[in-house]
């Protein structure tokens, strides 16, 4: 009963617009007061739990990667790359949309900041796509979907948090996520090519007067900085030279050095990146505190044991359990963010995962792909908010929602591929 009250109160508070951290914390207090067997004394354990989480060395990578992303966003490095690669693929039918997917993947591997990627690509590319006759649905769908690639392609904040919550090596998660990330990028490009073939008017070619050799040279030059950063961050992890946290520090320093090299560094840039990093990191850890209080009451009420018994006794098939959890996470993604889902739902599922002897690495990748979809699902998909906010009246909300549906379907297809072919996850893992 207490578990039901917990979720019910949290859902009502969220629907009323209460910030997530306070909604989960308040629901925990309310449920504890309602159950005489629990009471407020249970929160005496909360400081110890929070302190234990804060001692997790891996979580230090979160603010460092966020800082790195904001430095790149304001340094014009990412902007130059988008413009030059757009010109490179422009002469191909659907080429500008393909360029956005490729840039989205490169940004994901070098920054991983969804909001920054979506806003930047919207401001730079959307007016050009609409000017040359691209379908508003395709244009908005491509930009929103490509901006979310940073949720799966390492260095991903989602993977870092999942690794910390599930007690899995973040380095292994990064390696395991590369192939699924490439699959999603490939499916995006395939979809664009199909649309460009079936409806040429929806994705026309864009001609340029510049010599193609010059365009190619500019594109290659723009890729140098991001690839240096990717090599520093992911290369140091995969080579075993640095932990994810250490590589995050390398990446943050590397991003600053690149801005010095490209002469875009200034105090305002450093101040902006620092302040925005503090804001996002504080939000994440406030949610973590609220989620910890929620989980504490949930477990003390015995609801966790009831859930485990239900799945192990009533559902003996591990694939049925996986199917139910994936549908549940997908539905939750319509209403709440990946951080809340990770901190609230995943700890409840972990004992059942162990009971069914499911490989946590594979299960974590399934969750990561599913959580990426939560950025695209209306009405609360963050990627949709970022795009609409940056686009203003250029795009109708109805076109945005219709344009994103094919990409949500693609995400589900990628999830099914990884579900039925788990060996893909282990191709790059030692």
- Residue 8: other Cβ atoms inside 10 A: 13
**Rounded mean pLDDT, 348-360:** 87
Distance from C-alpha of 374 to C-alpha of 354, rounded to nearest angstrom? 25
For 357, the 3-state DSSP assignment is coil
Six-digit token pair at 401?
């929602």
Provide φ and ψ at 317, rounded to 5°: -95, 125
**Rounded mean pLDDT, 128-136:** 85
Q: Is 429 exposed, middle or buried (0-12, 13-18, 19+ CB in 10 A)?
A: middle
3-class DSSP string for 366-407: HHHHHHHHCCCCCCCCHHHHHHHHHHHHHCCHHHHHHHHHHH
- What does the pLDDT look like over 220-232, one tens digit per residue? 888 888 888 888 8
Confidence of residue 3 (pLDDT cuts 50, 70, 90): low
Q: Where are the alpha helices (DSSP H) in 148-266?
A: 157-166, 170-198, 212-238, 244-261
Highest mean pLDDT among 20-24, 171-175, 331-335: 171-175
Assess contact for 130 and 139: CB atoms under 8 A.
yes
- What does the pLDDT look like over 142-200, one tens digit per residue? 988 988 888 888 888 888 888 888 888 888 999 999 999 999 999 999 999 999 999 88
Lowest mean pLDDT among 127-131, 297-301, 347-351: 297-301
pLDDT over threshold 90, residue 413: yes
Confidence of residue 412 (pLDDT cuts 50, 70, 90): very high
Assess contact for 63 and 277: CB atoms under 8 A.
yes
Angle at 190 between CA 103 and CA 78, to 5 degrees: 5
| The predicted structure's pLDDT at residue 79 | 75
pLDDT over threshold 70, residue 108: yes
| Structural domain boundaries in the chain | 42-426
Assess contact for 153 and 173: CB atoms under 8 A.
no
| The predicted structure's pLDDT at residue 248 | 86
Across the chain, what does the average pLDDT equal? Answer: 83
Give the residue carrying structure tokens 């932990």.
243
Six-digit token pair at 398?
């109805």
Higher pLDDT, 142 or 285: 142
Assess contact for 368 and 159: CB atoms under 8 A.
yes
Assess contact for 143 and 118: CB atoms under 8 A.
yes
Provide φ and ψ at 169, rounded to 5°: -60, 120
| The predicted structure's pLDDT at residue 354 | 86
What is the C-alpha R_g of the chain? 22
Report the candidate in 398, 413, 412 with the shortest Cα–Cα distance to residue 141: 398
Highest mean pLDDT among 60-74, 323-337, 382-396, 404-418: 404-418
Give the residue carrying structure tokens 């925990």.
28
Confidence of residue 112 (pLDDT cuts 50, 70, 90): low
pTM over 0.75: yes
Provide φ and ψ at 155, rounded to 5°: -85, 110
- What does the pLDDT look like over 238-258, one tens digit per residue? 888 888 888 888 888 888 888
Distance from C-alpha of 33 to C-alpha of 22, rounded to nearest angstrom? 16
Distance from C-alpha of 117 to C-alpha of 103, rounded to nearest angstrom? 9
- Residue 212: other Cβ atoms inside 10 A: 11
| The predicted structure's pLDDT at residue 311 | 65
Six-digit token pair at 58?
């891996």
What percentage of the chain's residues is helix, strand, coil (to nearest 5)? 80, 0, 20
Lowest mean pLDDT among 59-63, 114-118, 308-312: 308-312
Provide φ and ψ at 211, rounded to 5°: -60, 140
Q: How many CA atoms lie within 13 A of 393 on its CB side?
A: 0
| The predicted structure's pLDDT at residue 305 | 64
């Amino acid at each position: 009963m207490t578990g039901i009250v917990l979720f019910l109160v949290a859902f009502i508070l969220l629907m009323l617009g209460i910030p997530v951290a306070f909604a989960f914390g308040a629901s925990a207090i309310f449920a504890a007061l309602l159950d005489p067997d629990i009471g407020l004394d249970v929160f005496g354990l909360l400081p110890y739990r929070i302190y234990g989480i804060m001692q997790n060395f891996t979580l230090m990578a979160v603010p460092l990667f966020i800082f790195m992303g904001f430095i790149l966003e304001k340094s014009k490095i990412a902007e130059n790359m988008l413009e030059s690669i757009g010109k490179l693929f422009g002469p191909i039918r659907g080429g500008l949309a393909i360029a956005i997917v490729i840039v989205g993947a490169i940004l994901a591997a070098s920054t991983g900041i969804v909001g920054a990627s979506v806003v930047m690509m919207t401001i730079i590319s959307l007016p050009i796509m609409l000017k040359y006759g691209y379908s508003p649905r395709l244009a908005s769908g491509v930009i929103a979907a490509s901006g979310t690639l940073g949720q799966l392609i390492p260095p991903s904040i989602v993977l870092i948090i999942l690794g910390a919550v599930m007690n899995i090596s973040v380095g292994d998660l990064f390696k395991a996520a590369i192939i699924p990330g490439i699959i999603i990028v490939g499916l995006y490009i395939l979809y664009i090519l199909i649309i460009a073939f079936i409806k040429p008017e929806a994705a026309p070619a864009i001609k340029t007067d510049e010599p193609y050799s010059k365009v190619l040279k500019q594109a290659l030059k723009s890729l140098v900085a991001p690839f240096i950063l990717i090599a520093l961050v992911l290369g140091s992890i995969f080579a075993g030279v640095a932990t994810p946290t250490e590589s995050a520090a390398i990446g943050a320093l590397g991003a600053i050095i690149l801005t010095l090299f490209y002469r875009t560094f200034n105090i305002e840039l450093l101040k902006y990146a620092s302040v925005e990093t503090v804001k996002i990191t504080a939000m994440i850890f406030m949610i973590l505190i609220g989620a910890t209080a929620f989980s504490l009451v949930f477990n003390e009420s015995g609801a966790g044991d009831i859930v485990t018994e239900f799945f192990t006794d009533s559902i003996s098939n591990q694939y049925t359990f996986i199917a139910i959890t994936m549908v549940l996470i997908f539905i939750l993604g319509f209403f709440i963010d990946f951080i809340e889902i990770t901190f609230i739902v995943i700890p409840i599922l972990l004992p059942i995962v162990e009971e069914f002897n499911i490989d946590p690495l594979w299960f974590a990748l399934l969750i990561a792909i599913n959580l990426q979809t939560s950025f695209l699902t209306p009405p609360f998909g963050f990627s949709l908010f970022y795009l609409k906010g940056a686009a203003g009246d250029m795009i109708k909300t109805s076109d945005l929602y219709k344009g994103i549906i094919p990409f949500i379907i693609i995400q589900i297809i990628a999830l099914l591929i990884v579900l039925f072919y788990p060996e893909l996850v282990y191709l790059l893992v030692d």
